[in-house]
Amino acid sequence: MILISEDVWGAPFQALEGSFPITRNDDLWSNPEELKASLKDVTALVVRNRTKVTADVIAAAPKLKVIARAGVGLDNIDIKAADAAGVVVVAGLGANACLLYTSDAADEGLG
């Protein structure tokens, strides 16, 4: 399952929606306890700049494989905790962009 915790949406997510379950809660970033409780079955977490992806958040997501930062900068993500948990962190480097998977890459990374 893909969880989007902020106001991030567009054609790439619409394309994924047919192949993967996506949960979108634009205000989830504002409630860390609710965010942690929502992560049980999440394999990919998509954030922007408001969601604080701390070690506690990562620990609450046992199936998490990918944290995708829509936009630039990774200062709201605990990179060391993600690395220790084997979670890949990706961002739209050099552009204020959202993550876009091809169907083959999505199957490999999220399937």
* pLDDT at position 100 over 50: no
pLDDT tens, 26-82?
999 999 999 999 999 999 999 999 999 999 999 999 999 999 998 888 999 999 999
Q: Which has the minimum average pLDDT: 2-11, 13-22, 26-35, 77-86?
A: 13-22
Which of 97, 99, 100 shows the shortest CA–CA distance to 71? 97
E strand intervals along 2-85: 2-4, 22-24, 44-47, 66-69
Confidence category of residue 106, pLDDT binned at 50, 70, 90 = very low
Which of 60, 23, 43 shows the shortest CA–CA distance to 109? 43
pTM (2 decimals)? 0.80
